[in-house]
Amino acid sequence: MCGRYTLGDSHDLFRRFHIPSEELAIAERFNVAPTQHMPVIIREQANHLTMMQWGLIPSWSKGPKPAGGLINARIEGILNKPSFRTPVRKRRCLVPADGFYEWKKEKGAKVPYYIRRKDNQLFAMAGIYDVWHGAAGELIEGYAILTTRPNALLEPIHDRMPVILEESREAAWLDIKSADIESLLAALENPFSAEELEAFRVSPKVNSPALDSRELLRRE
């Protein structure tokens, strides 16, 4: 799964993801947790940056439950899952990040590791979103991050990892007019290259979503 991630260096966000103008002021984040609001990229006439809650609530839900929504969606069989089959066809997004955390079981404890690109560049995780409307006029736009099997780097740490998109596939992921969603999903089941990533142990302080500073990225 993907339960925490970072967007610490956002100065290049608009150029990297072809956003026409700096529409939002994006704060540095080093411990993004579920229920928090973060920027995602959707396709309108052009790429558009908007803030959404991390936690997808299906539009047909009677209430905003489970608390915080669904934060991950397994890519395998996603077209058959009621909560995800419509969003994956009609409401896809990019979730920008520069790293994410996973926890490894070691001697009865869960040890956090930080994973990022070796070149420290921004990347996009494949996301889907939905819009929930409450009877009293409430509106919640929430997203989930797709996950797949781990690559060789992540396999010793965790049995899942986020779907990280090759830059050349980002436009196709945002193009909801594409009819061949099955082929796109099948290609994305293959995990991102282990050779382009690095992983290292970090402080258990990251376990607390109340802590959010660059110090969390220090190697242990």
Tokens read off for 156: 């010793």
**pLDDT grade for 23, boundaries at 50, 70 and 90:** low
Each residue's pLDDT tens digit, 79-137: 999 999 999 999 999 999 999 999 999 888 899 999 999 999 999 999 999 999 887 77
**Which carries the bigger pLDDT value, residue 62 or residue 192?**
192
User: Rounded to an integer, what distance in angstroms lies between the CA atom of residue 176 and that of residue 49?
Assistant: 17
Cα pseudo-dihedral 150, 97, 52, 23, rounded to 10:
-150
**pLDDT grade for 76, boundaries at 50, 70 and 90:** very high
Is the per-residue pLDDT at 67 higher than 80? no
C-alpha neighbours within 13 Å on the C-beta side of residue 5: 30
pTM: predicted TM-score of the whole model, two decimal places? 0.95
| Ranges 8-17, 71-80, 204-213: which has the least confidence | 8-17
Q: Which pLDDT belongs to residue 24?
A: 73
Q: Which pLDDT belongs to residue 214?
A: 94
Each residue's pLDDT tens digit, 157-179: 999 999 999 999 999 999 988 77
Q: Which of 2, 93, 141, 170 is catalytic?
A: 2
CA 56 to chain centre: 12
Residue-averaged pLDDT of the chain? 92
Task: State the CB neighbour count (10 A cutoff) for residue 204.
Answer: 14
**Average pLDDT over every residue of 48-72:** 88
Strands 47-54 and 37-43: antiparallel
**pLDDT grade for 21, boundaries at 50, 70 and 90:** confident
- What are the sequence ranges of the domains in the chain? 4-217
Examine the residue annotation and report whether 93 is marked as an active-site residue of this protein: no
Q: Which of 22, 44, 93, 102 is catalytic?
A: 102
User: Could you confirm whether domain 4-217 is CATH 3.90.1170.50?
Assistant: no
